[in-house]
Structure 1
Amino acid sequence: MNELLEKIDFNADGLVTAVAQQHDTGEILMLAWMSRESILETLRTGQVCYFSRSRQKLWRKGESSGQVQKLVEMRLDCDGDALLLLVDQTGVACHTGRRSCFYRAWRDGALVEIAAPLVAPEMLYKGS
């Protein structure tokens, strides 16, 4: 794991961008940030763990919603400044209740919603 961490170009805040992609369909699910600690936690447990910039702490995907991501493979880009996480996503990935956070598209001069929520957001976090 040290070899991987040495190759990552963390930003001034000690974070690296991470893109989550469904391993079997190629669907891009979300973008988040990871710290050294969250990377180690992810590799140790197999459950994806990010760093929440707003809460300034580790954020284990699905800890409050149950919508977990199991790591299939972690990849590092050529510059070392971005990770690609191939995951097996349980349920939705977006806090809006959509499968993907990328549910809006610029089409014909307008931003349009291309995916409706699959789960009401208040239902995702009712136990938290």
Structure 2
Amino acid sequence: MSTLFKQLEPAKPAIDLPDLNTLLDAIKFNEQGLIPAIAQQFDSGEVLMMAWMNREALDETLRTGRVCYYSRSRGKLWRKGESSGQQQRLKSAALDCDGDTLLVQVDQTGPACHSGRRSCFYIELADNRVEINAQPLIDPAELYGKA
């Protein structure tokens, strides 16, 4: 754990806190320079998706208010909704106590999942069986213009 995050454990809100850049510099990005980011709908608490951010994506997200991730498959920044129109507007961002996971509370436009579902977490595992717990809101072919 970063020394800075250890020092923050007894800190009181708004007292003895580092500036934002100092804190961002202390984030524990993995070997690929990434941190997991969990997206949660700000008003309902619904967990929408998990993606990765690098420092550049995090900086852009904080600066613009539009959530930006890092696409490992494409090897570049991915501004949520750039091809589907289903954007995420940042409401708040928080790091966990170890500085190695990010929670972004967002206002999601339409489905968050490439499958056309509201949430990426629609494959339910229960009692030795698998169930689909949500239907697509939008056909993915329609969502991405592949019809």
Q: TM-score if structure 2 supplies the norm length?
A: 0.84
1:72 maps to amino acid? K
Q: Which has the higher contact order (CA 8 A, sep 6+)?
A: 1
Residue-pair matches, total: 127
The aligned counterpart of 2:98 is: 79
Larger Rg: 2
Moved over 6 A (4+): none
The aligned counterpart of 2:47 is: 28
Does the residue aligned with 1:39 lie in a helix, a strand or coil?
A: helix
Distance in 2 between residues matched to 1:122 and 1:28, nearest whole Å: 24
Q: Please give the root-mean-square deviation of Cα atoms over the aligned residues, in Å.
A: 1.0
Is there any run of 5+ residues in structure 1 with no aligned partner, and where?
none
Does the residue aligned with 1:47 lie in a helix, a strand or coil?
A: coil
The aligned counterpart of 2:29 is: 10
Distance in 1 between residues matched to 2:115 and 2:42, nearest whole Å: 22
Distance in 2 between residues matched to 1:92 and 1:77, nearest whole Å: 26
Does the residue aligned with 1:40 lie in a helix, a strand or coil?
A: helix
The aligned counterpart of 1:55 is: 74
Q: Which has the higher strand share?
A: 1
Match of 1:91 among 84, 100, 110: 110
